């Protein structure tokens, strides 16, 4: 009889940690181990996640304190912690040397350039782990057989899960970059983002009375922390230089991202050839679908699913390629992306335990 992979979740009381838990409860090769929290330690898991209360694997389980000792001894640890917190606990786990695979859903280990980390996060860099976006096109190693990031993830022991906004922008625009159809020095991205992306901590601007019926931009003017990660990804996809104007907008929905990214079409390129590049690059991807021509992605069509819906068009009057990518920020953007990378690292089928059908309305 096959032994299940024992997975612990640090920060299991939050939105990201709760979504990791929801997906793992349906994973046929996983048993759920320690569920840790900070302020919620000692509370029942069902009190933080009432939507999971009926699952027999949870029962009356409670959150335990987030310590390296509680997390050690598992096959896999998923860190669903605030930025800056996962680096320290990961270092403690490294010192104990007892966890074969760690996945960080925070930003601490995503960036390759420590100067970029210090510039955007204002602290010392915790180090770089294998980047967990399997569909990322790898064009910066021309003499290598690596063509997608999933090939680097096979057998990885330390994985940095991408930012949710980064996933949407990267999946939307990378085919145009790797084929040389667009100019990556003039990218403009505007994203509609659900409020769960801001986390679960109670803050005045996240109250329903403030958010309902209103949209508000944040991280404006080049200050958003996902910018260096987008630049890093599109450089990996073959861009010699990347410049991007990136503006996320909180909109009154609980989850989801709709990312609209545009770039100049390279002069002389036949607009009729553009769509084929996107279709070719995603033809074999299990979780990325290029929609039929004229059908536009909706964030709600990805709710609860590990899917990315993509569309591309050419605005010939403006001379720009327009891409739209919809994802669920908590699934493909975080928890689902983590489990997808976990599957690859462990040699399991990549799609195992991951839904591709969304919920509606």
Dig out the tokens for 190 from the structure.
């505007």
> How many whole angstroms separate alpha carbon 30 and alpha carbon 32?
6
DSSP state of 124: -
> How many whole angstroms separate alpha carbon 283 and alpha carbon 92?
41
Dig out the tokens for 199 from the structure.
């986390």
DSSP state of 253: S
- Do residues 291 and 309 make contact, with C-beta atoms less than 8 angstroms apart? yes
> How many whole angstroms separate alpha carbon 133 and alpha carbon 161?
7
> How many whole angstroms separate alpha carbon 210 and alpha carbon 202?
12
DSSP state of 129: -
- Do residues 79 and 103 make contact, with C-beta atoms less than 8 angstroms apart? yes
> Known catalytic residue: 105?
no
The catalytic position among 164, 187, 227, 310 is 164
Which residue, among 4, 10, 22, has the nearest Cα to 255 in the 3D structure? 22
DSSP for 166-199, written as a single string: HHHHHHHHHHHHHTT-B-TTSEEEEEEE-GGGG-
> How many whole angstroms separate alpha carbon 93 and alpha carbon 47?
28
- Do residues 230 and 170 make contact, with C-beta atoms less than 8 angstroms apart? yes
Dig out the tokens for 155 from the structure.
């057998």
Angle between helices 227-236 and 164-178 (to 10 degrees): 30
Dig out the tokens for 235 from the structure.
């450089």
| 253: phi then psi, degrees, rounded to nearest 5 | -140, 150
> How many whole angstroms separate alpha carbon 274 and alpha carbon 55?
46
- Do residues 77 and 11 make contact, with C-beta atoms less than 8 angstroms apart? no
Catalytically active residues are 164
């Amino acid at each position: 009889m096959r032994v299940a992979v024992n997975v612990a979740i640090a920060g299991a009381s939050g939105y990201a940690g709760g979504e990791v838990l929801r997906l793992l409860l349906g994973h046929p090769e996983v048993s759920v181990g320690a569920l840790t929290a900070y302020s919620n330690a000692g509370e029942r898991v069902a009190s933080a996640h009432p939507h999971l209360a009926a699952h027999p694997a949870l029962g009356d389980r409670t959150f335990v304190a987030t310590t390296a000792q509680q997390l050690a001894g598992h096959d896999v640890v998923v860190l669903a912690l605030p930025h800056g917190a996962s680096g320290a606990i990961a270092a403690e786990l490294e010192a104990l040397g007892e966890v074969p695979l760690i996945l960080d859903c925070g930003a601490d280990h995503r960036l390759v350039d420590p100067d970029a980390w210090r510039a955007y996060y204002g602290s010392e860099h915790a180090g770089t782990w294998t980047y967990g976006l399997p569909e990322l096109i790898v064009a910066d190693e021309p003499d290598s057989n690596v063509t997608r990031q999933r090939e680097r993830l096979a057998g990885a022991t330390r994985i940095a899960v991408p930012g949710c906004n980064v996933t949407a922008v990267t999946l939307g625009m990378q085919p145009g970059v790797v084929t040389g159809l667009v100019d990556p020095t003039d990218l403009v991205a505007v994203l509609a983002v659900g409020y769960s992306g801001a986390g679960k901590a109670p803050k005045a601007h996240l109250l329903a009375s403030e958010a309902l019926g209103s949209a508000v931009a944040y991280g404006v003017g080049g200050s958003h922390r996902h910018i260096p990660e987008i630049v890093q990804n599109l450089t990996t996809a073959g861009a010699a230089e990347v410049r991007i104007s990136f503006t996320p907008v909180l909109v009154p929905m609980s989850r989801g991202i709709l990312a609209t990214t545009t770039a100049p079409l390279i002069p002389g390129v036949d607009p009729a050839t553009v769509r084929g590049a996107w279709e070719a690059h995603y033809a074999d991807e299990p979780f990325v679908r290029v929609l039929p021509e004229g059908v536009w992605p909706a964030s709600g069509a990805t709710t609860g699913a590990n899917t990315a819906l993509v569309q591309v068009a050419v605005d010939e009057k403006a001379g720009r390629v327009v891409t739209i990518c919809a994802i669920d920020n908590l699934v493909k953007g975080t928890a689902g992306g983590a489990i997808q990378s976990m599957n690859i690292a462990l040699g399991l089928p990549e799609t195992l335990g991951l839904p591709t059908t969304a919920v509606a309305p």
